């Protein structure tokens, strides 16, 4: 029997992914009307949203599915993907793409592009091989953009350092991620969440609101830093706070507030944070009554007034848990446009939070207009939810949606084991 060439073998494997993801690549992904740079600028511009910022680029529809991450269909597709990645591994894996001297973008000609094309074809990101092999054409730019979206990277269509590092993670690492997370997702899918729930995927920094087996809305999130991780938990949403106060947690007083006050004694006043004794709000204290060069401040309660500076933004979503975390809005809207959104102290900030609030309060008879009106009024209002919607914080670094699109995220908290992806080093560009 004649032996297939390496290129032919990659072509067969790429075809397998093309079949798996046939529903996921619209024609528009191959006919880009704007340059990748313009697309990235547009993406960043949209990230600085008001309250209606939503999904970024048209190709988002090609990598997202209306079916939830925990759906039975997605688990079935994940089994297929695992077998395909095993086949890729058995065939020698994918080629390493060398670092070009500068980031590659539309119109560039570089000796690394032929290998880049092979790499993208193997995982089904590049569907069309037309044009000069060494030219970074619109097909390659669209394929890179799709790869970036599958890996949670800013969808610029530019081969930059973070994209190259993700692309060069070995196949055995990706296979291990799929196998580890298959078991994890299977366990979560059988957790009895019911037909209506909220899923917070921490490594993806993404939230799904699920009802009757369909994703009603997806939300970009900002989750906990590596040294202040968001916890794994399951609970039920019991209350919505509109225009809330923010009581600064003792851990943040100790780690953040004391150093800030040592540097800038006017910080509390500038941030509209008031000082009380715990359990006694009859007297407000002055900052100069506290010795900021000791831990005395942890004996006081620091509470930020509602308003545009408030760290919780305009709304807070409460659910009982031992970690004292919650979902909330944020005044720092620009964080949602970043590729790595791990900036919080454990709580989760929600993009387009008003849409999620409207859905959570729908059983109460609330409409979006009512949500907008209360926020606009500045009124402090606590609304118990008539339906206590389940909420789950999960740690999922690899999944396959029901359309067959394979997603990976960095193992930010190192919970997947030693053989998983770490993108902490690698390519540099001049």
Q: What is the DSSP letter of 134?
A: T
Q: What pLDDT, on the 0 to 100 scale, is given for residue 57?
A: 45
- In sequence order, the 6+-apart residues with CB closer than 8 A to the CB of 253 are 297, 298, 300, 302
Nearest alpha carbon to residue 261 among 253, 281, 307: 253
Chain centroid, CA 428 distance in Å: 24
> What is the pLDDT, as a whole number, of residue 191?
86
Ramachandran area for residue 154 (φ above 0: left; ψ -120 to 50: alpha; else beta): beta
Res 12: pLDDT: 45
Location of structure tokens 């454990």: 346
Beta bridge partners of 219: 207
Return the SS3 of 224.
strand
Contacts of 115 (CB under 8 A, 6+ apart): 95, 96, 97, 98
Strands 233-242 and 381-384: antiparallel
CB atoms within 10 A of CB 358: 17
CA distance 376 to 387: 25
21 backbone dihedrals φ, ψ, rounded to 5°? -110, 25
What's the pLDDT score for residue 287? Answer: 94
Tokens 């909330």 appear where? 328
Q: How would DSSP label each residue in 269-315?
A: HHTTEEEEETTEEEEEEPGGGS-TTTTGGGGEEEEEPSSTT-TTTTE
The upper half-sphere exposure of residue 357, i.e. CA atoms within 13 Å in the direction of its Cβ, equals 33
Residues (pLDDT < 50) of the chain are 1-12, 15, 18-19, 21-58, 333-343, 421-430
Q: DSSP assignment of 333-386, as one string?
A: GGGGGSS--EEESSSEEETTHHHHHHHHTGGGT--HHHHHHHHHHT--EEEE-S
Which residues have CB under 8 Å from 108's CB, separation 6+? 135, 136
Instruction: Assign 3-class secondary structure to 48-114.
Output: CCCCCCCCCCCCHHHHCCCCCCCCHHHHHHHHHHHHHHHHHHHCCCCCCCCCCCCCECCCCECCCHH
Q: For the chain, which domains are there? A: 6-63+94-169 (no CATH), 195-244+310-430 (2.40.440.10), 245-305 (no CATH)
**CB-count burial class (<10 Å; 0-12, 13-18, 19+) for 372:** middle
**Cβ–Cβ under 8 Å, residues 342 and 225:** yes
Please give the pLDDT value at position 96: 96
Residue 24: its pLDDT value, please?
39
Q: What is the pLDDT of residue 326?
A: 92
| Angle, helix 6-20 to helix 113-122, in steps of 10 degrees | 50
Give Cα 229 to chain centroid, integer Å.
Answer: 14
């Amino acid at each position: 029997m004649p032996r297939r060439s390496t290129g032919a073998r990659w072509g067969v494997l790429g075809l397998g992914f093309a079949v798996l993801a046939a529903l996921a690549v619209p024609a528009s992904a191959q006919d880009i009307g704007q340059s990748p740079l313009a697309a990235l600028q547009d993406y960043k511009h949209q990230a600085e949203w008001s309250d209606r910022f939503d999904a970024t680029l048209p190709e988002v529809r090609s990598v997202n599915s209306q079916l939830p991450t925990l759906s039975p269909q997605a688990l079935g597709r994940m089994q297929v993907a695992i077998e395909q990645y095993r086949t890729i591994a058995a065939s020698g894996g994918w080629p390493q793409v060398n670092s070009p001297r500068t980031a590659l973008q539309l119109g560039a000609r570089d000796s690394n592009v032929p290998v880049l094309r092979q790499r993208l074809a193997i995982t089904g990101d590049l569907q069309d091989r037309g044009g000069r092999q060494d030219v970074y054409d619109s097909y390659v730019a669209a394929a890179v953009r799709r790869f970036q979206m599958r890996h949670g990277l800013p969808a610029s269509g530019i081969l930059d350092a973070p994209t190259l590092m993700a692309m060069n993670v070995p196949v055995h690492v990706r296979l291990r991620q799929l196998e580890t997370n298959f078991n994890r997702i299977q366990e979560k899918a059988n957790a009895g969440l019911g037909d209506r729930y909220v899923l917070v995927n921490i490594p993806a920094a993404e939230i799904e609101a699920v009802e009757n087996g369909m994703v009603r809305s997806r939300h970009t999130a900002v989750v906990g830093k590596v040294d202040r991780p968001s916890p794994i938990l399951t609970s039920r949403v019991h209350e919505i706070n509109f225009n809330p106060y923010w009581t600064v947690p003792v851990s943040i007083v100790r780690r953040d507030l004391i150093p800030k006050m040592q540097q800038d004694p006017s910080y509390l006043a500038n941030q509209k944070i008031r000082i009380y004794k715990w359990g006694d709000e009859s007297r407000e204290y002055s900052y100069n009554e506290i010795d900021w060069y000791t831990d005395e401040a942890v004996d006081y309660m620091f509470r930020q007034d509602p308003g545009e500076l408030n760290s919780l933004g305009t709304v807070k979503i409460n659910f009982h848990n031992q970690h004292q975390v919650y979902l909330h809005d944020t005044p720092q809207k620009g964080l949602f446009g970043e590729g790595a959104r791990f900036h919080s102290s454990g709580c989760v900030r929600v993009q387009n939070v008003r849409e999620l609030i409207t859905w959570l309060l729908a059983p109460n008879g609330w409409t979006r207009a009512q949500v907008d009106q209360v926020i606009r009024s500045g009124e402090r209002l606590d609304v118990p939810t008539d339906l206590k919607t389940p909420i789950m914080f999960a740690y999922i670094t690899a999944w396959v949606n029901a359309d067959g699109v394979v997603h990976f995220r960095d193992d930010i908290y190192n919970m997947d084991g030693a053989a998983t992806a770490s993108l902490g080093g690698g390519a540099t560009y001049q």
